[in-house]
């Protein structure tokens, strides 16, 4: 079926309210989350990777209660004004991040903005670990070599990479994802860790201390942690640096020419956070000048594009923003986004702990009567609930 020139697929055509999804999303639980509360769901199936503002306005139309969108879309004043005019009061990103959303504009129009935290932690950390291994052990280079038919036999110097065991791991941004990644690398490779964060990560520190004590009981050398006083300290000391900060004015181009020059010549730099955290042009030049330096990137400064020269470099592993691309996580993100919109349509309160999302994803039981995560709940004065008590934010 086509609507406003864009192809859409409709579920529960007789629903009492109308919710639009700008993209098809994995799984079916998210569709049921909306249709079970009486929503008509219209999914844009247009063969277009990124919808324009004009496209989305046409999807919103003259009557729309809520929208589920994607982080590639520009949700600012224009779209929120259109959604408000159409009677809408809910928008949710199918993402934990919302750098593409002007939350203040949404709040001015009385529109709740949802996101999907708590479901991406382990999946993103696993991808960061995969990038680390791929870059350190030159997996992609070796794979290309084999596929090109160049392998003629074992050689002592063929694709010699970096040993991770016992090396120093650097973490910039020791929140949930940074800590989960650190645990994987520490347990897997017995790496010591140095981290920088504005806030002390007692969870990470306690884990490393406890694991170090366990190793001593096994007759092995313990591992240690250190909290750095600056990002520069991490960059100077670590053999592997993984970036996990939020993106704001203070972290834009956090890794620039000057800071790249502080890193070890054979270091590995991993970014599965936000592309603009790295000055990508400076990184290209650094990779060219330092062939033993390696990088693993899931995100890019000007997505979906890479800076000139990056794709041609053998000492960087690049993947297309797939950190959350496990089946469980992507289906969970879709379900949480849908429940954010469904909950607002039904007038439900906001869940008090958006990182405790397990009750919303159990397909064998009804989800809580709450919106999993609304980032502007306090600004809108919405009610918060954990299922047993409610209060105004």
**What distance lies between CA 260 and its chain's CA centroid?**
24
Contact between 159 and 142 under an 8 Å Cβ cutoff? The reply is yes
**What distance lies between CA 345 and its chain's CA centroid?**
26
Is 303 marked active-site? Answer: yes
The H or E element containing residue 385 is: strand 383-385
**CA–CA dist 374, 5 (Å, integer):** 31
Structure tokens at 244: 């996990």
Is 32 marked active-site? Answer: no
Active-site entry in 108, 227, 253, 321: 321
**CA–CA dist 90, 178 (Å, integer):** 30
Strand spans (E) along 72-128: 90-93, 112-114
The DSSP bridge pattern shows strands 6-11 and 39-44 to be antiparallel
The burial class, CB within 10 Å (0-12 / 13-18 / 19+), for 338 is buried
Structure tokens at 132: 């680390």
Q: Which of 242, 296, 290, 241 is nearest to 266 (CA)?
A: 290
Q: Which of 198, 199, 163, 195 is nearest to 179 (CA)?
A: 195
Active-site entry in 109, 274, 286, 294: 274
Q: Which of 80, 176, 165 is nearest to 125 (CA)?
A: 176
At residue 234, φ and ψ (nearest 5 deg) are -65, -50
Structure tokens at 189: 């490779």
Is 203 marked active-site? Answer: no
Structure tokens at 300: 């890019």
Cα→Cα distances 128→148, 287, 330, 350, Å:
27, 19, 17, 31
Evaluated on CA atoms 179, 118, 69, 90, the torsion sign reads: negative
Buried residues in 290-309 as b, exposed as e (16+ CB within 10 A): beebbbbbbbbbeeeebbee
Catalytic residues: 274, 303, 321
């Amino acid at each position: 079926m086509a609507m406003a020139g864009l192809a859409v697929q409709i579920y529960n055509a007789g629903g009492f309210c109308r919710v639009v999804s700008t993209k098809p999303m994995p799984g079916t639980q998210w569709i049921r989350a909306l249709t079970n509360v009486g929503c008509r769901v219209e999914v844009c199936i247009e063969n277009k990777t990124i919808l324009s503002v004009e496209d989305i306005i046409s999807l919103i139309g003259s009557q729309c209660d809520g929208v589920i969108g994607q982080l590639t879309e520009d949700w600012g004043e224009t779209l929120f004004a259109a959604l408000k005019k159409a009677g809408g009061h809910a928008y949710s990103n199918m993402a934990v991040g919302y750098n593409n959303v002007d939350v203040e504009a949404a709040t001015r129009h009385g529109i709740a903005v949802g996101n999907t935290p708590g479901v991406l932690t382990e999946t993103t950390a696993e991808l960061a670990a995969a990038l680390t291994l791929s870059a350190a052990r030159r997996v992609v280079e070796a794979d290309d070599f084999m596929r090109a038919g160049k392998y003629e036999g074992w050689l002592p110097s063929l694709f010699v990479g970096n040993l991770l065991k016992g090396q120093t791991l650097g973490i910039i941004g020791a929140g949930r994802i940074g800590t989960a990644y650190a645990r994987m690398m520490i347990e897997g490779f017995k790496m010591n860790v140095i981290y920088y964060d504005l806030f002390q990560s007692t969870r990470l520190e306690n884990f490393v201390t406890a694991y170090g004590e366990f190793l001593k009981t096994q007759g092995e050398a313990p591992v240690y942690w250190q909290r750095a006083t600056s990002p520069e300290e991490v960059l100077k000391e670590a053999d592997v640096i993984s970036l996990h900060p939020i993106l704001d004015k203070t972290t834009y181009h956090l890794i620039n020419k000057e800071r790249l020059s502080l890193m070890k010549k054979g270091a590995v730099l991993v970014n599965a956070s936000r592309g603009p955290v790295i000055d990508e042009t400076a990184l290209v030049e650094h990779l060219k000048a330092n062939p033993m330096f390696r990088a693993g990137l899931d995100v890019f400064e000007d997505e979906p594009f890479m800076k000139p020269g990056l794709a041609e470099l053998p000492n960087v592993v690049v993947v297309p923003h797939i950190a959350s691309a496990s089946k469980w996580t992507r289906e969970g993100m879709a379900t949480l986004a849908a429940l954010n919109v469904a909950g607002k349509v039904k007038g439900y309160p906001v869940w008090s702990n958006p990182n405790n999302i397990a009750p919303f994803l159990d397909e064998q039981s009804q989800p809580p009567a709450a919106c999993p995560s609304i980032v502007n709940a306090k600004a809108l004065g919405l009610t918060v609930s954990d299922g047993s008590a409610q209060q105004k934010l």
